[in-house]
Structure 1
Amino acid sequence: MSEAELKATPKELTAHRRALPALTGIRFFAAAYVVLFHSRLAAVMAARGWTAAGNFFLSGYLAVPLFFILSGFILAYTYNGQIRHKGDHQRYFEARFARIWPLYALSLLLASLVNLRVPSPGVMVATALMLQSWNPFNLEMAGSWNAVCWTLSCELLFYLCFPWLQTWLERGHRRLPLVLLAGSVLLCVGTNSGSRTLWYTAHGVYRFIPLAVVHVPEFLVGVGLGNYFLERQRLPESASSRFGQGWLTYISTLVILALLCRPASFWTSLVIPAFAVLVYGLAEERTLLSRVLSSRLMTLCGGMSYAMYLMQNVVKPWVAEGMNRLHIDSVSLRLAVNMAVLLALSYVLFTAVENPVRKLLRGMFARMEGRRDLRQPDPAR
């Protein structure tokens, strides 16, 4: 291997499959939904008698299961057939680390600077290692630093399980992904997993189940769906495109909106299968919605969504302090300024930190792997 090859940044594994930009674009709306959930918008809507709108913004926590489903779907779509050897596992974990941890760590540092405090040493270590959602006996620890990072702790568990899960699915019957999908959907609905978020009150058996484990079925929905989607893509075009007229996308969107505008109840759990249908529809169908989400602007915003999600608790207290100093009490103006600052910061972090650092780390890992290969003796000699 030449020195030039050692310096090359490795290509993404998705290069062997077509891009799914609509699934990038929808991440922006999911992140924005969480941000609005953490604002006072729901209370304002309810106070004005706009009950459905109030319920909608009060249901913003349900964007988290959508993130988990998307995560499972994209991983399955990306790595199907790509994790076969020991080196493949290593490259997979290196890619996940380069994608997630640098901005995650920066968000913790900025949260401490803004709030002028740091958590206890135990919480600090657990959060830095992304383990804060793994302790069922101390649920408060999950949100003790940068609260939204509890979902990334869940993602770590998913990432650790995925290579072996994907290998098992590929070696099993071709219907196995569909069985996994159906079983996981039933488990999500039966346990109402989407409602069990940070600081929920655990009763019964849930007192002994880590928060990260509670949300595993949502990730499994995505993994099963992603593998099923790929299986459908291998069928003849006439068979694989029978649902390609937009019905899946539009019907699932209407069902999701109807569920989110209702008061929270057991029926809200049906949003999980509706999310799954929407994700499949956006990946498979060519609709006006998928074209909008696939636009250059929306894919950029989708790329920014990770920074937007992580930095919301960094920006919010800083903007609130500024508004208080200026004696500005308008909820709409505060929200507008908060969103503007958050979007600007997210763009800067995405373009100047997240992407460059990820490429730097991927290149560094590639060079390390190349040098290890050079040191290994050639068995043909």
Structure 2
Amino acid sequence: MEIRKLNSLRALAALIVFFTHFSDITNWLGGVLGGGSGAYGVMLFFLLSGFLMSYLYIEKGFNKDNIVRYFSARFARVIPLYLVVVLASYLLSNNGSSVLYNIPDTETLIAHLLFIYGESVLWSIPPEIHFYFIFTLFWAMSKNRTGYIYLSILAVMLLLFFTNYPRIYGDINGVPYNLFSVLRTLPFFFVGVMLGMNYRSLTIPYYLRKHWFVLTLGFIPLLYPAFSPINSADKVRMWLSYEVLLVMSSVFFCVVFLVPDNNVLLANRFGDFIGKISYSLYLLHMPIIAKVNQLDVSIELKLLLSLLLSVIAAAISYQFFEKPVANLIRRKVSNRPNSATSQA
């Protein structure tokens, strides 16, 4: 069963990142939408990722065929475009071009291919890949040991809190690694998993399912450093603040569980469209903004051109690369002999 609202949440996440980077690069509105505020869009992506993995797979049997389908679906969704962007960035960087991202040497390329380091927006892909494997541990416990899932999540979150998120980064023989970026994202994945585990079973009273809960999305801009009423370091700690985790998780819960599925602001064609191309939009928008910013035109026209060109590039990428490649991979997997056939 598709939860259509999630398309618009994914679209919102991508647009938050886009406007943050546009504000940072061009100093639009004095940069008030920047300052790392794109983190809140990425947090939504990670909440969505954990939720969908749990919602789609946790009740399925933990067996070889389902595991193969799970990893092939995850691989088809994320890896092909990532590899193209990484390899193109490496080739262009070594030819003196800064069109994409800076991957200047073989060591940095290896780090990207091993998912232990990411340049610019590519940093968020390694945590996603790492969590695919972590989720299989939860999945394995889901049938008879569900309580261990909650216990392990609690233990890890307490450990991260009391160790202040260990800064594990550096390089090995020139190959950079940054596991800190993985550790700081885990709480958002974990909350998404727990919410996904309970989406079908949690009964929400009819009187709580109200369209006005969509207004809770307005709490996200209040977390931005330029707008936040919070005077503590939490307004700049972002990933390391459990207060921020609480706010983002509460907003996510309200939208997914309390807003009716037919809410016009969340269930619409625009949200469906941007949600589908959100991954391409996320990976491709920064180079486009940087190039448009070199034009001698007004800031408003730069914004319009950057958004339009980013959406067009993302739509082309999704329609003519991501979608066909993903469908090809899924067909290959669905046509493979199952375990019973291969033993016959």
Q: TM-score range by the shorter chain?
A: 0.7 to 0.9
One of 199, 203, 208 as aligned partner of 1:243:
208
Which position in structure 2 is the counterpart of 1:313?
A: 286
Q: Distance in 1 between matches of 2:201 and 2:139?
A: 14
Structure-2 change in CA distance of 1:349 and 1:101 (3 Å): same
Aligned match for 2:79, one of 89, 101, 115: 101
Q: Could you tell me how far apart the structure 1 residues matched to 2:34 and 2:260 are?
A: 24
The aligned runs of 1:108-127 (5 Å cut-off) are: 108-111=86-89, 112-113=91-92, 115=98, 118-127=103-112
Q: Which residue of 2 aligns with 1:199?
A: none
More helix by share: 1
Give the number of aligned pairs.
318
Asked if the contact 1:28–1:301 (Cα under 8 Å) also holds between the matched residues in 2, the reply is yes
- Offset at residue 129 of structure 1 (A): 3.2
Tell me the amino acid that sits aligned with residue 22 of structure 2. S
Q: Report the Cα distance in structure 1 between the residues aligned to 2:270 and 2:56, rounded to whole angstroms.
A: 23
The aligned amino acid for 1:119 is: P
The residue aligned with 1:45 is 29
Match of 2:18 among 32, 35, 43: 35
Answer with 1 or 2: which has the greater Rg. 1
Alignment pair present for 1:274 and 2:239: no
User: In 1, Cα distance between the equivalents of 2:163 and 2:312?
Assistant: 38
1:262 is aligned to: 228
Shift of the 349–263 alpha-carbon distance from structure 1 to 2, 3 Å rule, reads farther
1:81 is displaced (CA, Å) by 1.2
Query: 1:296-311 residue pairs with structure 2 within 5 A?
Result: 296-311=269-284
C-alpha change, 1:341 and 1:368, in structure 2 (3 Å) is same
Rounded to whole Å, the distance in 2 between the matches of 1:167 and 1:341 is 43
Match of 1:228 among 174, 193, 198: 198
Contact residue 185 and residue 272 of structure 1 kept, 8 A:
no
Q: Quote the offset at 1:211 in angstroms.
A: 1.9
Give the aligned residue type for 2:284. M
How big is the shift at 1:216? Answer: 1.3
Q: Distance in 2 between matches of 1:278 and 1:118?
A: 36
Question: Which residue number corresponds to residue 185 of structure 2?
Answer: 215
The answer as to 2:66 corresponding to 1:82 is no
Kindly provide the CA deviation profile for residues 219-254 of structure 1, in whole angstroms up to 9, marking residues without a partner as x. Answer: 11111111122331xx5xxx554532346543x324
3-state secondary structure, aligned to 1:262: coil
CA distance in 2, matches of 1:359, 1:266: 45
Cα distance change on mapping 1:188 and 1:259 into 2, 3 Å = farther
Who is 2:343 aligned against?
376
State the TM-score, normalizing by the size of structure 1.
Answer: 0.73
TM superposition score normalised by structure 2: 0.80
Deviation at 1:173, TM superposition (A): 5.1
**How far is the alpha carbon of 1:96 from its aligned partner?**
0.8
Q: What SS does the corresponding residue of 1:368 show, helix, strand or coil?
A: coil
Q: Answer yes or no: is the 8 Å Cα contact 2:261–2:267 preserved in 1.
A: no
* Map 1:128-139 → 2, pairs under 5 A: 128-132=113-117
Q: Give, in angstroms, the shift of residue 56 of structure 1.
A: 6.8
* Structure 1 position 171, deviation (Å): 2.5
Contact 2:54 2:196 in 1 (8 A): yes
Question: Once the two structures are superposed, what CA deviation does each residue of 1:45-74 show, in whole Å capped at 9, x if it has no partner?
Answer: 238xxxxxx157752222212211111011
Q: Given residue 87 of structure 1, which amino acid in structure 2 is its aligned partner?
A: D
Q: 1:191 and 1:311, CA in 2 relative to 1: closer, same or farther beyond 3 A? A: farther
**In 2, distance between residues paired with 1:192 and 1:272?**
15
> Which blocks of at least 5 consecutive residues in structure 1 are unaligned?
1-17, 48-53, 133-141, 194-204
Change (3 A) 1:20 1:64: same
Residue 150 of structure 1, CA deviation: 1.1
State yes or no: 1:162 paired with 2:135: yes
Q: Deviations over 1:236-286 (max 9, x none)?
A: xxx554532346543x32433323321784343333222222222222234
Runs of at least 4 residues off by over 6 Å: 176-193
1:171–1:374 CA distance, 2 compared to 1 (3 A): closer
1:76 Cα deviation (Å)?
Answer: 0.6
Mapped contact 1:248–1:277 kept (Cα < 8 A): no
Post-superposition CA distance 1:179-213 (Å, at most 9, x none): 677777778888887xxxxxxxxxxx424653212
Aligned match for 1:344, one of 294, 312, 333: 312
Question: Which amino acid in structure 1 is aligned with residue 343 of structure 2?
Answer: Q
- Residues 118, 65 of structure 1: CA spacing in aligned structure 2 closer, same or farther, 3 A cutoff? closer
Distance 1:305 1:375 in 2: 38
Q: CA RMSD in A?
A: 3.2
Task: Note the C-alpha offset of 1:356.
Answer: 1.2
Paired residue type of 1:212: V
1:60 aligns with 2:38: yes
Instruction: After TM superposition, list the pairs within 5 Å mapping 1:144-183 onto structure 2.
Output: 147-172=120-145
Aligned-pair identity in percent equals: 24
Deviation of residue 373 (structure 1)?
5.1
Distance 1:243 1:185 in 2: 30
Using the TM superposition, give the Cα deviation of residue 82 of structure 1 relative to its aligned residue in structure 2, in angstroms. Answer: 1.3
In structure 2, how many angstroms separate the alpha carbons of the residues matched to 1:152 and 1:68?
10
